[in-house]
Amino acid sequence: MDGDRVEIDGGIMEGGGQILRVSTALSCLLGLPLRVRRIRAGRSQPGLRPQHLSGLEIIRDLCEGKLEGGEIGSTEITFTPGKIKGGIHIADTKTAGSVCLLMQVAMPCVLFAASPSELHLKGGTNAEMAPQIDYTVMVFKPIVEKFNFTFNCDIKKRGYYPQGGGEVVVQMSPVKELSPINLTERGTVTKIYGRAFVAGALPIKLAKDMAAAAVRCIRKEIRDLYINIQPVREPDDQAFGTGSGIIVVAETSTGCLLAGSSLGKRGKNSDKVGIEAAEILLRNLKHGGTVDDSLQDQLIIFMALAKGVSRVKSGPITLHTQTAIHFAEQLTKAKFTVTKSEEEDPSKDTYIIECQGMGMINPNL
């Protein structure tokens, strides 16, 4: 069997957990046995962290596969997938490991399951180094659903760094195939809205300060639009631990959604948190792409699986995106091309990511 294993070098390019997420999801979908070596080789703590292990375990459980080397700190795993089944699956990082990243690895797989799935994902909902759950619901969800599927994401409890304790429940039904997407017209910004939140021991004043600072920062660039950022205190029964943060979303006339977000932490001024989110949003609006820098790489696996040609106009291609493309092409028959967009406006740094998808068909439907 080992002769047929696909060999993945987990230490190249972005060199992080994303290589593991893309390659194990595709391994599961395509029935390809996999060996990943040099996992997170360049990181300060190399090898599997609780976050990555939970992701591997949920994929293993989804398809009744075999996983070897699945322990914390392991730098090499082998994975032998089985048949993807629906039903209820639970993944718990037992830390502030991101539920959004667990969703990233599991979602492509359950789309091609035999029956509907319910994923109970436990860990951090608003954690560093990962999309916040608010981003997943407000930006990722409406855009990824353009591939012609829907899912439901119920935030049962929010969890923050360091102890996690959050839980989201994702429900989705399988599809026969995915449609390609065409996101090439940015349009003009029509609305800017968001939420600034505090939870646990923090006063609502922090949320108000974050929101006000973000509004002031955006006002300098965009004067004629009402900016609606709601300050909220998460109800005590819907949040575990203490945390704060903000997300600001811009919606355009063509239905594009771009965002900036930031998390509070001890010793970080709340104005700074708001300004950080606003600056990320403004940077994403400046490049002229139809997707922001966080969404770019999350769309790659779906473009690779879809039937037909997908086109997405983006800002500069992130290392995460280059990495996702590299492994999607290594494992599937999808072909990607990235070209500089021929813009009317030479100051814009935009690219077209085009993909001839492999046209994955759900064998169970």
- For residues 365 and 118, which has the higher predicted lDDT (pLDDT)? 118
| 176 has pLDDT over 70 | yes
- For residues 207 and 4, which has the higher predicted lDDT (pLDDT)? 207
Annotated binding site for ATP: 104
Q: Mean per-residue pLDDT for 178-192?
A: 98
2: pLDDT confidence band, cut at 50, 70 and 90? low
Give the rounded percent of residues in the chain with a pLDDT score beyond 70: 99
What's the rounded Cα separation, in Å, for the pair 296 and 139?
Answer: 12
What's the rounded Cα separation, in Å, for the pair 6 and 329?
Answer: 13
| 3 has pLDDT over 70 | no
N- to C-terminal Cα distance for the chain?
28
Annotated binding site: 104
| 143 has pLDDT over 50 | yes
Predicted confidence at residue 252, as pLDDT, reads 98
195: pLDDT confidence band, cut at 50, 70 and 90? very high
CATH class label, 6-183+291-358: alpha beta
| 140 has pLDDT over 50 | yes
CA 162 → CA 81, 167, 365, distances in Å?
33, 15, 42
Write the pLDDT tens digit of every residue in 256-280.
Answer: 999 999 999 999 999 999 999 999 9
Tokens of 215: 């509004």
Annotation marks residue 320 as catalytic: yes
Q: What residues does each domain of the chain span?
A: 6-183+291-358, 189-287
Predicted confidence at residue 345, as pLDDT, reads 75
Indicate which residue of 52, 89, 320, 326 is catalytic: 320
Cβ atoms of 140 and 291 closer than 8 Å: no
CA 76 → CA 25, 38, 103, 323, 331, distances in Å?
17, 6, 22, 19, 18
Tokens of 241: 């631990």
342: pLDDT confidence band, cut at 50, 70 and 90? confident
**Nearest CA to 305 among 333, 338, 339, 337?**
333
HSE (CB half, 13 Å, CA atoms) of 101?
A: 28
Write the pLDDT tens digit of every residue in 5-31.
Answer: 999 999 999 999 999 999 999 999 999
Write the pLDDT tens digit of every residue in 116-135.
Answer: 999 999 999 999 999 999 99
Q: Mean per-residue pLDDT for 209-214?
A: 98
Place of tokens 């923050």: 160
Does domain 189-287 fall under CATH 3.30.360.20? My reply is yes
CA 222 → CA 79, 193, 271, 287, 315, distances in Å?
50, 13, 19, 15, 20
CA 3 → CA 7, 35, 42, distances in Å?
10, 11, 28
Torsion of CA 153, 159, 161, 163, to 10 degrees: -130
Predicted confidence at residue 1, as pLDDT, reads 46
Q: Which helix (H) or strand (E) holds 50?
A: helix 50-62
| 74 has pLDDT over 60 | yes
DSSP notation for 215-226: HHHHHTT--SS-
Q: Model-level pTM?
A: 0.97
| 109 has pLDDT over 80 | yes
